[in-house]
Structure 1
Amino acid sequence: MTDTFVAGGATSALNAPLRIAVIGVGARAAIARFAVESGDGLIVAGVDPDDRARARVQSELAPEAATFATHDELLASGVPVDAAFVTSPDHTHAEITIDLLEAGVAVYLEKPLATSPADADAVLEAAARFGTPLYVGHNMRYLGVVQLMRDIIDRGEIGEVKAIWCRHFVGNGGDYYFKDWHADRSQSTGLLLQKGAHDIDVIHWLANGTTTDVVAMGDLSVYGAIQDRRSNADRRMPDWFSLDAWPPLAQKELNPVIDVEDISMMLMRLDNGVLASYQQCHFTPDYWRNYTVIGTEGRLENFGDTGGGVVRVWNSRTTYAPEGDLVYSIAGDAEGHSDGDALAVGDFVRFVRSRTSTQTSPVAARNAVAAAAAATESLRDGATPRKVAPPSPNIVDYFTPNQRKPSGPDLGPATHKEN
């Protein structure tokens, strides 16, 4: 190992903070602060076409940062940048990321990787062609609940995985996804991709497989009936979010264009024979994910997906036994997923500095997009079955050495049920 690394077209000290640009100063831009708070990064630039967003760079992220309307202006400015956090709207990911990779700027790309398999493939091909570090921020792989489930599976407590079910109760969906660009399929493709790609990636990771066949159904069941609409380009999600917006039909000021589904369901067959399902509803009263993983010797299920929840394991034959045979406590942030973001950003920094392996995988991120896109085509075409196109073998070979199998944190002993 040397005491320097090359990024952004310049050689920097290995222990110096990364010079970071934030591209897209919306709700997710704040993740770049984890690099700053750890001492690993310094935000030197912010990019957003909206002048109000550019003002937020200096008021919320870094007072001394330079601001630009486009990433092209940033790259032409001469401001030295080692790494960029791309947190712009999804349909802009591919163009921005490819240009940054060509310029030698390492990229933390917010999930999903892209809004189409073609764009996802183009990003991966650019990373391989230019040799620039690409990291896709699938932070769910770092969450305590997911790492715990993976650890239980790896220890063989439920045998060989045969089926995975995920129910996603998106209780905040009206505020998170139907008041801005997410509701417009021209910018998001659909919420099976924009939202579901994260859970599909987790399903693939827990199953050690990749989806080859999908079929899906879905509908715009609730939010399409709401006529109270406005452009919210002058605001961010925290400005309008309220738990008091209930029931769902009481929502106001939705995006002018709403043509994505607010409820959807997909079935998957993986390349290793595992069968999986994913269900997503954006008008439930509660907001959390419920996973069930069934193996040849038992099953697991999570109750809560943040710190304070539990994962229960059933591995003896019984009738109705809601307490399970083993109970594991979920570690992590009890209020959200900031712990996963912090761990993901730390992994990214190490990857940029030392080319260490990462817990996420650009190829896996691409495969999640491909599965979600195929499912979206299926549900919009009468639930017709779809094959999921695989990535190029050359791309798989390029990225595979960078992915590690996580050991996971010490999650503590299980609590056995009382007899």
Structure 2
Amino acid sequence: MDDLRIGAIGLGHRRSLAVAAHQEPGRGSRVTAVSDLDETTLLNEAEFFDAKTAETDYRRLLDREDVDAVLVATPDHTHAPIAIDALRAGKAVYLEKPMATTVEDADAVLRAARESGSRLYVGHNMRHMGFVRLMRRLVQQGQIGTPKSVWIRHFVGHGGDFFFKDWHADRSKVNSLLLQKASHDIDAMHWIVDGATEAVQAMGGLTVYGGLPRREPGEPGPEIRPSREQWPPSEQRALNPVMDVEDLSLLNLRLDNGVLAAYQQCHYTPDYWRSFTVIGDAGRMENFGDDPGGSIRLWYAGRRNYDPAGDAEFRIPDAVGGHGGADDEVVREFVRFVREGGATDTSPVAARMAVAAGDMATRSLRGGGALLQVPRLEEAVRAYFENGQVEAG
């Protein structure tokens, strides 16, 4: 079987996805074309992948008949238009999360996939992370009874380095970090408890980074890497010229299966980790670490005081590769789906629901904290994707 010929569009922070897709000949997929706006990056990556096609304009890449599929890993605000162009050009699309920055644009991507018949895959790689898969399995086994609530705390210890020195700090590029960053966690939470958000209420603000020194417009940005050279957060310098996204967000959610959830995100903590707690009517579970070597602990016997050991502990399995092995797994699933179709652990509809929750949460946050309903997806579009991207009947 010939290798799937992939065009990589955007080779910045998430170039690791293209690397994962670039297998040895005969192993299933190869990166044969590259596109990036930065000409130096483009030349370097064309050499790295030995790509015959290198274009600064991705639309010329879409015109090529020797490209079967594209991997879109560009800044968030470009996801929807590039994906729609690629789908209409007949290319299978791997679209990095979030699939769009508004619910309206997410719906437009889904409609384009249905109308074109081109296959769409959204890279919510957390569904392939060991701790998420383990928590989902424990819930499905009934280890804590029926889920009733989820509490998520996301401590983004390097937020000042990764999210406030480039386009992530600009709401015109990301909408909000409550969408950009939290869409991962919201999608994972939906999957763990088998539900989707139907109503949200949020509060937050730009509480630390807003008054710190910024670069002049047009001035080259610093290398983006986690650092403790500028600590505490008030010592951060060379922040993005435009900064109008929140660095602290608090979100309440109601899911369509009755689960109530709370999500908290802070971008100036001294540590970095995700804490998921799932509470059922017969117990609760919590992760201690989200990488291999961590664990999930369960409490299901009554006690008067806190017991850190719990009643059972399950080790997060070992894995190799980015994001606990999830990057390799999500690319592998995409290639298999393009070739064979069938069920996938990721879901374009679920990706839309994560965007919808984050988008409406942002509107609530910036509109005084009102309770807002998540717009419903058109039923015919939902049915198309739930039927494996094939029209029913």
TM range, smaller chain: over 0.9
Task: Determine whether 1:49 maps to 2:37.
Answer: yes
The SS at the match of 2:215 is coil
Aligned counterparts of 1:171 and 1:157: Cα–Cα separation in 2: 32
The SS at the match of 1:37 is coil
Task: Determine whether 1:318 maps to 2:303.
Answer: yes
The SS at the match of 1:98 is helix
Distance 1:269 1:114, change over 3 A: same
Unaligned regions of 5+ residues in structure 1, if any? 1-14, 404-419
What is residue 293 of structure 1 aligned with on the other side?
278
Task: Determine whether 1:221 maps to 2:204.
Answer: no
Aligned counterparts of 1:206 and 1:269: Cα–Cα separation in 2: 15
Aligned counterparts of 1:233 and 1:330: Cα–Cα separation in 2: 43
The 5-angstrom pairing of residues 53-72 of structure 1 reads 53-59=41-47, 61-72=48-59
What is residue 278 of structure 1 aligned with on the other side?
263
Residues 128-157 of structure 1: CA deviation (Å, up to 9, x unaligned): 111111000000000000000001101100
Whether the 8 Å CA contact 1:25–1:56 is kept in 2: the answer is no
Task: Determine whether 1:40 maps to 2:28.
Answer: yes
Alpha-carbon RMSD across the aligned residues, in angstroms, is 1.8
Whether the 8 Å CA contact 1:29–1:85 is kept in 2: the answer is no
Q: Of residues 131, 136, 150 in structure 2, which corresponds to 1:145?
A: 131
Whether the 8 Å CA contact 1:316–1:325 is kept in 2: the answer is yes
Query: Post-superposition shift, 1:233?
Result: 8.0
Whether the 8 Å CA contact 2:273–2:290 is kept in 1: the answer is yes
Aligned counterparts of 2:83 and 2:111: Cα–Cα separation in 1: 11
Moved more, 101-110 or 30-39: 30-39
Whether the 8 Å CA contact 2:5–2:69 is kept in 1: the answer is yes
The SS at the match of 2:325 is helix
What is residue 385 of structure 2 aligned with on the other side?
399
Unaligned regions of 5+ residues in structure 2, if any? none
Distance 1:181 1:346, change over 3 A: same
Aligned counterparts of 1:349 and 1:245: Cα–Cα separation in 2: 41
What is residue 363 of structure 1 aligned with on the other side?
349
Query: Post-superposition shift, 1:235?
Result: 6.0
Query: Post-superposition shift, 1:302?
Result: 0.3
Task: Determine whether 1:92 maps to 2:78.
Answer: yes
Query: Post-superposition shift, 1:219?
Result: 0.5
Q: Of residues 205, 213, 219 in structure 1, which corresponds to 2:191?
A: 205
Aligned counterparts of 1:37 and 1:242: Cα–Cα separation in 2: 32
Whether the 8 Å CA contact 2:277–2:284 is kept in 1: the answer is yes
Identity %: 49
Aligned counterparts of 2:221 and 2:21: Cα–Cα separation in 1: 26
Q: Of residues 340, 348, 369 in structure 2, which corresponds to 1:354?
A: 340
Residues 308-334 of structure 1: CA deviation (Å, up to 9, x unaligned): 111000011112211100001111348
Query: Post-superposition shift, 1:54?
Result: 1.1
What is residue 107 of structure 2 aligned with on the other side?
121
Matched length: 386
Whether the 8 Å CA contact 2:201–2:370 is kept in 1: the answer is yes
Aligned counterparts of 2:135 and 2:267: Cα–Cα separation in 1: 25
What is residue 266 of structure 1 aligned with on the other side?
251
Superposed structure 1 runs of 4+ greater than 6 Å apart? none
Aligned counterparts of 1:315 and 1:400: Cα–Cα separation in 2: 35
Distance 1:335 1:254, change over 3 A: farther
Aligned counterparts of 2:73 and 2:220: Cα–Cα separation in 1: 17
Distance 1:51 1:351, change over 3 A: same
Aligned counterparts of 1:70 and 1:85: Cα–Cα separation in 2: 15
Q: Of residues 282, 307, 323 in structure 1, which corresponds to 2:292?
A: 307
Distance 1:104 1:16, change over 3 A: same
Query: Post-superposition shift, 1:232?
Result: 8.0
Aligned counterparts of 2:377 and 2:219: Cα–Cα separation in 1: 36
Distance 1:19 1:231, change over 3 A: farther
Distance 1:355 1:307, change over 3 A: same
Distance 1:143 1:357, change over 3 A: same
The SS at the match of 1:402 is coil
Whether the 8 Å CA contact 2:202–2:249 is kept in 1: the answer is yes
What is residue 143 of structure 2 aligned with on the other side?
157
Query: Post-superposition shift, 1:385?
Result: 1.1
Aligned counterparts of 2:82 and 2:51: Cα–Cα separation in 1: 23
Residues 180-230 of structure 1: CA deviation (Å, up to 9, x unaligned): 111000010000000011111111111211111110000001111111325
Distance 1:235 1:369, change over 3 A: same
Query: Post-superposition shift, 1:236?
Result: 7.9
Whether the 8 Å CA contact 1:307–1:335 is kept in 2: the answer is no
What is residue 328 of structure 1 aligned with on the other side?
314
What is residue 410 of structure 1 aligned with on the other side?
none
